[in-house]
């Protein structure tokens, strides 16, 4: 029975194989998480490039843009600009106020409108 190996001779193999297997499992889990994150990032980047994504982004950024426009208008008024010169900024301010106030109600309507716009734009281009 010379072919039987004592457990103490195989024990170093277990000491080496267990960490190696653990590292392989950790690498597999980590790489699958990275792949998932990259897919999600690509999905969000593609969505931002659509009409729907652009409108969502405009609505989401409306409060910050409104504050910026209001500060610009205040600065220009303090410098003595006339109302005619501020007309474009005032119109933009009104649009941003509407987007801030009613943006949450408009978001569900964006998807059907964006499909229509995409079909119209696709018909013109192709």
CA dihedral over 73, 79, 81, 85, signed as positive or negative: negative
70-75: average pLDDT = 91
What's the chain's average pLDDT?
A: 83
C-alpha 88 chain-centroid distance? 30
Is 125 in contact with 67 (CB distance < 8 Å)?
no
Q: Are residues 113 and 60 in the same domain?
A: yes
The pLDDT confidence band at residue 123, using thresholds 50, 70 and 90, is low
| CA dist 43 → 37, 38, 48 (Å) | 10, 9, 9
- Tokens representing residue 112 in the block: 């059907």
Q: Are residues 68 and 114 in the same domain?
A: yes
In the chain, the number of structural domains is 2
- The H or E element spanning position 28 is helix 7-48
In which residue are the tokens 């699958």 written?
A: 32
Per the domain annotation, does 69 fall within a domain? yes
110-118: average pLDDT = 77
79-104, pLDDT tens digit by residue? 888 888 888 989 999 988 988 888 88
99: left (phi over 0), alpha (psi -120 to 50) or beta: alpha
Per the domain annotation, does 9 fall within a domain? no
| Whether the model pTM is above 0.75 | no
Segments forming the whole domain that contains residue 26: 19-45
Q: Are residues 40 and 55 in the same domain?
A: no
- Tokens representing residue 56 in the block: 């969502």
Per the domain annotation, does 2 fall within a domain? no
Q: Are residues 59 and 91 in the same domain?
A: yes
Please provide residue 82's backbone torsions phi and psi, each rounded to the nearest 5 degrees.
-80, 160
- Among 12-26, 62-76, 110-124, the least confident range: 110-124
81: left (phi over 0), alpha (psi -120 to 50) or beta: beta
Q: How far apart are the first and last CA of the chain?
A: 80
């Amino acid at each position: 029975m010379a072919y039987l190996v004592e457990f103490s001779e195989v024990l170093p193999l277990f000491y080496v194989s267990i960490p190696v297997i653990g590292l392989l499992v950790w690498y597999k889990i980590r790489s699958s998480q990275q792949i998932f994150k990259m897919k999600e990032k690509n999905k969000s980047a593609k969505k931002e490039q659509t009409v729907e994504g652009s409108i969502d982004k405009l609505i989401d950024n409306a409060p910050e843009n409104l504050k910026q426009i209001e500060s610009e208008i205040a600065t220009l008024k303090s410098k003595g600009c006339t109302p005619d010169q501020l007309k474009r900024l005032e119109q933009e301010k009104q649009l941003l106020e509407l987007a801030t106030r009613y943006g949450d109600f408009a978001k569900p309507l964006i998807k059907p409108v964006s499909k229509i716009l995409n079909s119209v734009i696709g018909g013109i281009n192709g």
